[in-house]
Chain A
Amino acid sequence: MAAQGEALTASGYIQHHLTNLAVGEGFWTWHIDSLLFSVGLGALFLWIFYKVGQKATVGVPGKLQCFVEILVEFVDGVVKESFHGRNPVIAPLGLTIFVWVFLMNTMDLIPVDFIPHAAAQMGVPYLKIVPTTDLNITLGLSLSVFFLIVYYSIKVKGIKGFTKELTLQPFNHWALIPINFVLESVTLIAKPISLALRLFGNLYAGELIFILIALLPWWSQFVLSVPWAIFHILVIVLQAFIFMMLTIVYLSMAHEDH
């Protein structure tokens, strides 16, 4: 199943599958494939939900509307359960994260060579179709969440309150302010990092296993790839849910005044 002439060895094949289609130099490198699939899937999700929302009836809903409403109600229920406050951003944010991350993860279930090979035929040298196996994508999401955490912390508690939270928290004594600050900063920074790495790690590992399975002879691949794909259905939903859930919990904590 090796794709390119220059990458017929196993390590070359794996390396090829893990390389993004990139333009630019240094920091200003853009992973065209990750961005394209990520934005495309996000737009697909919003387009479908927008269409359904425009045609939504109060009476007996259609099947698609039912499906969309189940998702909306599910996210709304989770938000109502874990977020104690009034903020109209949280629930749509949760829905966007859940569905978008789920769709990006789902790309993992497409056989690893289908789209990259088709793209290679059209002259595209590299193509990574699962955006969530790109650390930049997951970090982009989690840093946005981090920004929201800081923004709402300051908005709800004020700069003074936020500073107090960072400096007077576990040990409420002026002498221990530096220690508190280090501890709380680590807690704060760990949130986006762990969010991004958890999603990235799960999906990257899953993708890698699919690539390794693709190295087997074609007639034996299904023995491993089918159970792994079925197991992976659980992983992609779970990871999307965890990302949404933790975002909601973190933002809920940001809204809590001590």
Chain B
Amino acid sequence: MSINATLLGQAISFALFVWFCMKFVWPPLMNAIEERQKKIADGLADASRAEKDLVLAQAKAGEQLKAAKVQAADIIDAASKRRNQIVDEAKHEAEVERAKIIAQGQAEIEAERHRVKEELRKQLAVLAIAGAEKIIERSVDAKASADIIDKLVAEL
């Protein structure tokens, strides 16, 4: 065991190896590691932000759902109110219509009655004249008494 030139050879190769390691081995590996660390940190930050966003979105969705429910109840209320109103209006209209129809019917009946009465009166006058003619056939000139008959008819 003696100290010899092997020492120098080892020292030279050591220097070369360290130089090579520093120049070509360390930087790419360190870069890759640091870049990945940054990526992972970013990803984690994104994940936590997404989680917060999710909570917010859920709260918002719940609020909106509640609001929608309230709105729906309002709409239903308004609709039922409106329905009652429409039904009431229709009832009212129908009553008015009914009254109108009844009034019209009565007017028609009245007119018909009037017409029938007139007819009857005319026929009664004719009958009365016919009767009177028969009674007073001989003595009374039809032509002479025509004005009386007309007067009677008018009075009937």
Contact = CB atoms under 8 A, between A and B. Distances in A.
B150 to A, nearest CB: 128
Interface in B23-42: 24-33, 35-36, 39
Contact of B24 (A53, A65, A141, A144): A53
Interface of B: 1-11, 13-15, 17-18, 20-22, 24-33, 35-36, 39
A114 interface: no
Contacts of B14: 42, 96, 140-141, 144
Contacts of B26: 53, 72, 91-92, 95
A96 B7 contact: no
Given A46-B20, A58-B35, A92-B18, A35 B6 contact: yes
Contacts of A89: 18, 22
Interface string A86-102: 00110111011000100
A38 B33 CA distance: 29
A24 interface: yes
B33 to A, nearest CB: 6
Interface residues of A, number: 50
Nearest to B15: A144
A69 B26 CA distance: 10
Interface string A19-61: 0101010111111001100110010011001101110111101
A49 B25 contact: yes
A56 B70 CA distance: 59
A31 B13 CA distance: 14
Interface in A137-193: 137, 139-141, 143-144
A56 B32 contact: yes
Nearest to A28: B5
Contact of B4 (A31, A39, A144): A31
A51 to B, nearest CB: 10
A44 B17 CA distance: 11
